[in-house]
Each structure stands twice: as C-alpha cells, then as structure tokens.
Structure 1
Amino acid sequence: MPYNTESNYNAEDKIWCGPQSSNYFAPDLSIGEIIFHEMRRHPKLIAQISDTENTVLTREELHLNSMHVASYMRSLGLVQTDIVGIIGRNTTHIFAVVYGCFFNGIAFHSLNTSYEQSTIEKLFDITKPRLIFCDGEDYEKVKSATEKLNAKIITMRNHQSGSISIEEVLATPVETDFQPARLEQGNDQTLAILCSSGTTGIPKAVTISNSRKMLNSSNKLTTADVQFSLSTLDWATGLVTTVSSGVYSTKRIISDKPFDAVRYLRIIEEYKVTWVIVVPSHMAMLVNCPEFEKANLHSIRHFMYGGGSCSLAVQQSIRDRLRDDCLHQVYAFTEAGSAVIKNLSFDQKPNSVGSLLNGIKMKVLTEQGKPLGPNEVGEICVYNGEYWAGYFGNPEESSNVRDSELWFYTGDLGYMDDDGFLYIMDRKKDMLKYQNIMYYPHEIEEVISQMPGVAEVCVFGIWNPLVGDKAAAAVVKKIGSKIQAQDVVDFVKGHCSAIYKHLHGGAIIVDDLIRSPNGKTNRAATKAYFVKINDEN
C-alpha cells in the first residue's frame, strides 16, 4: 500500500512542503460567518447532546441561542477589540457563548477551571475581558481574581448571588435580520486566545486567528459524523472540535466530567461516535481498562491523538479494536492554531506523527541554525503562511518563538525520514546528559513500555553533580500486575545495552502520573513527586 503523503522535499534549501491549500468556502468569510450560514442550512439536525446534563439541541436551537448571546454583547456596546473571558466546563450553553463571540467578531480568552485564583488574576489582567462566563462553583474564585477589572460575570449553572445567569442572557431579544459581523481586520483578526501548555510558570495568552488551517485535521467530516472530545475551550483540541462541528454540521456529544475510561467507552457505543481526539495518557487508561476488550468501537472513522508520546503497544492495542485504518496521530502546537502534520498511514509508519498537511512547510535545524536533511535530528521549525498576532501583550516572547521570516521554533527535536514522515524524539528542554553522553527520556520510556504489566511510564533526570542526569522513572502498572520498582530497574538494565540509559536514579510505582489539566503527562511535576517520595524515605 502506498504511503499517504503528498509532501515534497527541496534538497537545495532542505525544506519540506505539504500540498497546496484550497478553499472550499469563500476566502473572505470569517469562521463565524461560515458557521452562521451552515447552521441555517441544516436547522433540524441535532447539533449537540450533553451526556451529563441530558440536554439535546438542534442546530436551529443552538443557532438561536448563539444569536441571543451575541445580541446581549451588542446591547452592552461590546466591539471587536473587546475580549470575552471563559472559564468553564463543557456544559449545555457554553458553545452558544463561543458562537456568539464568533458572530460578533469578538475574541474570547479561555482558561482552565483548575487554575488557581492567582493564575486567573494574572492571565485575565493581560486581556482584561469585559464579560466572563464561568460555572457557579467557580464564581467566587473568578470574582476575587477579577475584582479590579469591573467585568460582568455570567454563570452557566449553579448560579450564585451577584452573578448574571446564562438564562438571563438567553432571554435577550434578537434584532430582526440579525447578521454576523464582518471582521474589521479580515481573517487575520484574532478568533480566540488560548493558554500555552507549558509546565512551568504562568501560561502565556496565545492568539489564534480566523485561519482556515484550523480545519486541516477535520476536513473530511460530514453531517453523518458524531464528534466527541473531552477537551475544554482552553485547549486547541477543544476549539478545533467546536469550530469543526459548527462548520461541518456534525452531531457533537459533550460531557462536563473529567476523563473516565468506562464512561468514555460507554459514550462511544451509545452514541455511535465516529470522530474522537484524545491525549496519549487517555489511550493508556483505555487500554488498561477491563471493559476495553469488550467495547464496540466499530463506529469510529477518525481516532486522532496528539500532545505527547504514546507507546507502540498502546497504539497497536487501540488499532486492533478499530474497524479501519483510522488511528491518526496529529502533530500540533497552540501557536500554530491547527494541526500541521497528520499520520494517515499508521500501519506503514507506526510511531511517526505523519506527513505535512495543506499549506505547511517544515525544516529541521541544528543548535547553530544550520538546516538538516532527511534522517538528521534537530529542532523542528514550522511555517504555516498565516498571520499570527503573537502572545497577547508579550511581543518579546512572541519574537522568541517566531522569527522575522515567520518560522515557528517548536522546541521539539525530531527528523523527517526519506518518505517525508516526521518522527518526534523529545522536547529540546528535556534532553539529558549522563557522564556527558546525551540521551532522551522517551528512549527509556519505549523500553519500559515493552515490559509486561506496565500501563504508563514517565522518565526524567535526577541531577547528580558527579555524573549529571541520572535517569529515573515513575510507572503505572496494569490492573492485576505484581511488578515492583526494582523489576523496572532490572528490566531496563537487561534490555538496554547503553549503560547511560539505565535507571541509575531508580523507579517508583504510582497509581497515576501527575498530569496537566488536559490530561497530558506533566514530566516536571511527576519528577518533583518522585524527589519528594525519595526524600521522605
């Protein structure tokens, strides 16, 4: 079977190029205008089902709710330079808020509900939203964090004294012949502001434009598809799911609960889900779930994952349960606002994140900025040809991640093979050295993942002034497994000839790895927990 790639390589400049972009919708239309008109085309189709709140909305109902929200914003005099804050779960009316913003050409800034008050205060102080939509259970935290902003706070549920309820907003009259706003800055205008997924320090406010490349990973969706993603609106996957569902008139299943493998499998079966996007840690939890082997996943046509490494054993376990070759890894980063690479050839290219999507270019650089050719490891740099407003209010950090020729420096290390498929080695900042020999955590994670009884693993370096970074591991064992920490150390020693990759720092068995709010493994926090446990012992 031929590889699914249309990338070409310029050997002189050492640049890979994906296929040319094409426009299905008129190029001058904003994301909001497209969704507005598509909702009107399919009014009686079910737009959204909440599995936890037991609500069902047709596209006509969601469209009307979105116009009510947009009309409320207009009644307050909000303009396209204003910002709306969102810090909410995937509840029934949160997406009417998003589409209402789109219809008005007003960007929203979305934060995760798990953020501490101090983080909320610092992030919203950057963008200074005039309206903030949140759940009632977070109202006091949000109110205290934003008391200097004089913002109106609307609660989505569990309404609190002093807040405005979403029901009041939805009662706002809609003007006759309501039309979505034309963008004052065209499609370069900011659509949304998300948070960087960094594991240290305060996340940055990342602007996302009205770029069509946001649809790169979902352009084969139809009205017959059923989408399901647990990602909230502060993650790119949550934004992409919301946009693609609006553009392609799919049925979307939502849940305001955190990931639970049994519930996840039940939702796929019950609603005959065809499109999912997950993080690798959730894949490992699914495979480690006793119900996994009996679950019916045959409805799925697109099983996408990204945001970190996933063991080949877990990938293959998922692939074996899917009806078609529809296990697709995607490579993306928030600043690009979209997926830039997707693997449509898992059976031929396992462990590759895939080939370039439409309109994307890529090069691989040494630390000195020298371009590298196929099969040479360096920092991955991406060009998407799109305007980027940068980190909101932070031009210095913006220039550090994108140069004057509009290339993004991802901080990821990897290489392109001879067929134009990208392989990610590790984060540049995660590179370790033991006795001056360089190695990467994922190399040891791949070894440990082959050990019977291992469900998940996170490897990190423990600094020693004499030898450098001693590799250490935190391991989640499979249900029923009896493995001990020393078994892991011995397994690596017996299956890895390179002594510098042995677990000189030791190992611990944990119930779960420490994760970021979107489910990604937080390597720094897991390492800190390892150090704490060892210090206590």
Structure 2
Amino acid sequence: MPYKPENTYDADRRIWSGQEERHYFAPELSIGEIIFHEMRRHPKLIAQISVTENTVLTREEIHLNSMCVASYLRSLGLLQSDVVGIIARNTTHIFAVTYGCFFNGIPFHALNISYEQATIEKLFNITKPSIIFCDGEDYEKVKAATAELEVKIVTMRNHQMGSISIDEVLATPVEENFKPAHLEQGNLQTLAILCSSGTTGTPKAVTITNSRKILNTSPDLTTADVQYTHSTLDWVTGLLTTVTSGVYSTKRIIADNPFDPAHLLQIIAEHKVTWLIQAPSHLAMIANCPEFEKADLLSIRTYLYGGGRCSLEAQHKIRSRLRNDCMHLAYGFTEVGSAVSKNDHFDKKPNSVGRVMDGFKLKIIDDQGKPLGPNEVGEVCVYSGQYWPGYYGNPKESHSVRDSALWFHSGDLGYMDDDGFLYIVERKKEMLKYQNIMYYPHEIEDVIAQMPQVAEVCVFGIWNEYNGDEAAAAVIKKIGSTLHAQDVVDFVKQHTSAKYKQLHGGAIIVDELKRTANGKTNRQATKAYFLEVKDRN
C-alpha cells in the first residue's frame, strides 16, 4: 500500500470515513473553559504581538482583559441566548472580546469590514446583537445599519463621539473568584456565528458549536509555536486560529493592515512563524512578489491553505523555500466549522484536498442523490456526526443544506480517487468569491440592469490566482444605444461601493447571450465566449 490507511471505504454504501476522533480535553468542558484554564497555566508567556499597533501581551494580560470584557457583558445583563456583534480588524483587544464571549457562553456574530451598510443591516437584523464591537472608522456605517436596533457600539480604536471606548470596557472590575460560565446546553451550544449567503443572495448566519472538531487541524501545536493568519474573525480560519492559540498557549502574531505579501514575509522572518494558514490567493501573491526571492520561510513547520484554487506553480515555489514537507491543502466549509479533509501527500497527490479527517464521513452523489464510486464526479456531501443548530433563524435554508439523514450538501463538485483522496472540480452553485468575500452574479446584474441603455446582462466570474473570481459582464445594449463596455464598468463602480462587486474582469458588448435549449441564459457558455473574445483582442 503506497499510503497509510487513514481512511476506510465502504464499497457497498460508497462512503469514505476518517478515523475515530481523539479527545485531549475533558468532554464536558466548553471551548471557553479550556482556554480559561490553559491561560492560567502559562501566565508569563507572550500570547500576542501586534506588528501594526506595536503591542505585546502576555497570556496573563489577555486573560485579565478577557475577564474584564466578560464582566462588562455580565454587568449589562447579557444571557447566553443573546448575541454579541463583531465587525473589526485584527487589533490588539479584539481577541479579549472573543475570549470574553467564550467565558460567558455568549456567541458572537462576526461580519467582514468590507460589507456595505445594506449587507450589515440585513445580517445584524437576523441575529439582533445587544452590543457591537467595531473599529472607529466603521462606526458611522455600523450605527446607520443598526439604527432600528437597540444596540450599544464599542469602538476598538479611533474612538468616535457616541461610541463606548474599549478602554472603558477593559476598566470593568472583575468579580472575585471569576469563573467561566457553564454552558446551559452543553457543547451543543453555539460558539460563534459567521456569515454566508443563500442561493438567492439573502445573507445567512452560520452557527458554529463548541465542538472539538475546530481543533482537528492543529493537535500538534505547543507553547513553542508562533501562529499567524491574516483572516479576521468572520472567517473560519480566523476563528480557528483564535481558538487554537488560546487552547494550546501559542504565541500569536497579528496585523490589522490590508494584506501585503512583502509585509507578511517580513513578519515570518522576524517572528519565526511556525504555523501559517491562509487563502490560496494570498499564497499566490507571496509566491509572485519581488521580495519572495530573498524570503526566509525556514521557521514554518505547518503551512495550511484552502478555500479556493491555487496554481501548482505557486504551490511549488512556496514549497521550494520551506525546510520541511509541511504544505497542506485543506477543504471545508463554514457550516461544518472546521476542515473536512487535509492533504499530507503533496508529492503524490498535488492539488488534492486530501483524505477525510477524523470524525467525518464523505460521499459523492449524482443529481438524483445516488452515491458514486471512486473517480466519478458529483456533489460532495459530508457527515460530521455532530449536532448543528443550523442557520440562525432560518430553518428552511438549514434543511436545504443538510438533509434528513444529517448529511451536508456542499454545493461543490468533486471526486475521490482510488486511494481515497478528494479532488474539488468546481462549485455547483453560482456563488463566487473575490479575495474570499462571497458574492453572486445577480447582485451585479441587478445594478447593470438599472442602466437605461442595457437590454440584457449576464455576469460571471473570471478566475484570477490572486483575487479568485473577478466579476465580468456580457451586455446586450438596446437598439440605437451608443453604450460602450467601459461605460458598464464605470457605472458599476459608481453604484456599488463594495470592492468585491466591481467588474474587475471587464465587460463586453454582445449581440446575443448564449442560451440553453429552453431559452435560458447559459452562464458558462457566455463566459466561454467572453474569454474567446478577450483572447482575440
């Protein structure tokens, strides 16, 4: 056998299974309780360094700050049924807010700072947070988006008139013999709420429980490790790094600036980062920046990446500069709350997202729901073996993504090879990702359709290894119109503030869109024609 038999395959049911889960902590402890006790074990270790705010905190200091936040939330009378909102960068004290929520058993709902006001309003109207933590530069946007909610707003920096300063929160006295709260529903209770979007584009709030599966990519972390991710708390990778740095008492390096590959290379070299997790687009940017040729990556012993496609050329370039064979392409999705598979055999299985991880089962199904065997392409379905509360306040959509037998339907097309390695082919749904921010073609189509010269429009994603899916448009102009492609690009820019919804891929004017046999717009065929036209020009 060329590989260690880490998975089993049931040929009759056509299901691949990981090994049984192994637990390192008492099963009754919540994530918050584990982190609370682990912080007390190593009080003098450096827990966090902000390279952009030039701050250094020990575990003792973060522990105290987290208890202050928890005490402040308790003083407001917040219950475990309440929700805390977060829309913030990776600044010095945002993780004390996170751990404070964990200590109280109160879930936080994290949003990305790039969201437009309308999106923020929709998302926070789902969970209705009692208090929101944001950066001062986003205060007015958040305030306007939550005008109809009775909500307090705490600013993490650049404090604004009308907001509560995080310094006020951190000055809250901690009750004597402070203890983390016992979870009323045990570890089935929600730990955090992240964001996703439905097939109609309506935002959904994805619940993540206190399950130990969030630790499955990092069981070998120790106090000697130095962790880094540029992801903020609204991404699973940001949540995962926040949890694991607390659980395993590592040193974590943070930065609140827009992603800069040269800056990250500097961070890795200066702070001897050992554990890195990032999006494939960031990997590609690092591999192709001028500073890469002189970069020192020898400290890294675990390099995790996932969430999209990445060219083999970029992967090989990064790998050639590492001391060990430590690059692992992983696969998962927000609803599961952790990695489902991870590739530990890069040489033999390049571009595979690996084998099924402990505690998971996986199957590939066709359009009729029939399970498929090795090397047959279909939808990837995952069984986690654990409770999932569903999308917050949205049972209908929850049932659409998880069937009655508790299998998650990912919407991704893929296949398993003969050795039990998973390959992702493409997304079944129309969802696109630009720099890991999800969007849908129709959102941009609705904007373009407002142009009086436009008769019809089709938007699609053009893949770019740095940005992911760059939106592009094919437009039919009305008879007699003098509309040009650049007019369409400019109109979207003027009427859409979100960077990820711009036509970075460009636009073309066409006489007709490609159609299916029943007359519907064929998005893939129109995209293929767009690429053909672009190649000729």
Separation in 2 of the partners of 1:312 and 1:259? 22
Separation in 1 of the partners of 2:329 and 2:296? 21
Q: Secondary structure of 1:109's match? A: strand
Aligned match of 2:453: none
After superposition, the Cα gap between the structure-2 partners of 1:98 and 1:471, relative to the gap in structure 1 and judged at 3 Å, is closer
Code of the residue aligned with 2:386 in structure 1: it is E
Equivalent pairs counted in the alignment come to: 462
Q: Is the 8 A contact 2:284 2:465 kept in 1?
A: no
Separation in 2 of the partners of 1:335 and 1:471? 25
Q: Is the 8 A contact 1:343 1:352 kept in 2?
A: yes
Aligned match of 2:150: 150
Structure 2: unaligned runs, 5 residues or longer: 433-440, 446-457, 467-488, 511-529
Q: Is the 8 A contact 2:281 2:465 kept in 1?
A: no
Structure 1 position 258, deviation (Å): 1.3
Structure 1 position 530, deviation (Å): 3.6
Separation in 1 of the partners of 2:133 and 2:47? 21
After superposition, the Cα gap between the structure-2 partners of 1:471 and 1:206, relative to the gap in structure 1 and judged at 3 Å, is closer
**Percent sequence identity over matched residues?**
69
Separation in 2 of the partners of 1:532 and 1:96? 52
Structure 1 position 148, deviation (Å): 1.2
Q: What is the TM-score with the length of structure 2 in the denominator?
A: 0.82
Structure 1 position 3, deviation (Å): 2.8
Q: Is the 8 A contact 2:343 2:354 kept in 1?
A: yes
CA offsets, 1:385-424, max 9 Å, x none? 1111111111111111001111000011111111111011
Q: Secondary structure of 1:321's match? A: coil
Aligned match of 1:502: none
Aligned match of 2:526: none
Q: Secondary structure of 1:238's match? A: helix
Aligned match of 2:515: none
Separation in 1 of the partners of 2:327 and 2:464? 25
Q: Is the 8 A contact 1:380 1:412 kept in 2?
A: yes
How do residues 97-496 of structure 1 correspond to structure 2 at under 5 angstroms?
97-196=97-196, 201-429=201-429
Separation in 2 of the partners of 1:372 and 1:525? 38
Aligned match of 1:434: none
Separation in 1 of the partners of 2:224 and 2:84? 32
Match of 1:529 among 489, 498, 506: 506
Q: Secondary structure of 1:224's match? A: coil
Code of the residue aligned with 1:39 in structure 2: it is M
Q: Is the 8 A contact 1:4 1:345 kept in 2?
A: no
Separation in 2 of the partners of 1:391 and 1:470? 28
Q: Is the 8 A contact 1:325 1:347 kept in 2?
A: no
Separation in 1 of the partners of 2:255 and 2:261? 13
Q: Secondary structure of 1:240's match? A: helix
Code of the residue aligned with 1:285 in structure 2: it is M
1:11 aligns with 2:11: yes
Separation in 1 of the partners of 2:245 and 2:508? 44
Separation in 2 of the partners of 1:212 and 1:128? 27
1:87 aligns with 2:87: yes
Q: Is the 8 A contact 1:298 1:323 kept in 2?
A: yes
Separation in 2 of the partners of 1:147 and 1:383? 40
Structure 1: unaligned runs, 5 residues or longer: 432-440, 442-459, 464-468, 478-509
After superposition, the Cα gap between the structure-2 partners of 1:258 and 1:8, relative to the gap in structure 1 and judged at 3 Å, is same
Aligned match of 1:506: none
Separation in 2 of the partners of 1:472 and 1:80? 41
Structure 1 position 476, deviation (Å): 7.7
Separation in 2 of the partners of 1:476 and 1:18? 31
Aligned match of 2:481: none
Separation in 1 of the partners of 2:207 and 2:509? 37
Code of the residue aligned with 1:309 in structure 2: it is R
Separation in 1 of the partners of 2:357 and 2:323? 24
After superposition, the Cα gap between the structure-2 partners of 1:331 and 1:401, relative to the gap in structure 1 and judged at 3 Å, is same
Separation in 2 of the partners of 1:430 and 1:317? 31
4+ long deviations beyond 2 Å: 1-5, 197-203, 469-477, 524-537
Q: Is the 8 A contact 2:310 2:465 kept in 1?
A: no
Q: What is the TM-score with the length of structure 1 in the denominator?
A: 0.82
Structure 1 position 531, deviation (Å): 4.2
Separation in 2 of the partners of 1:197 and 1:282? 23
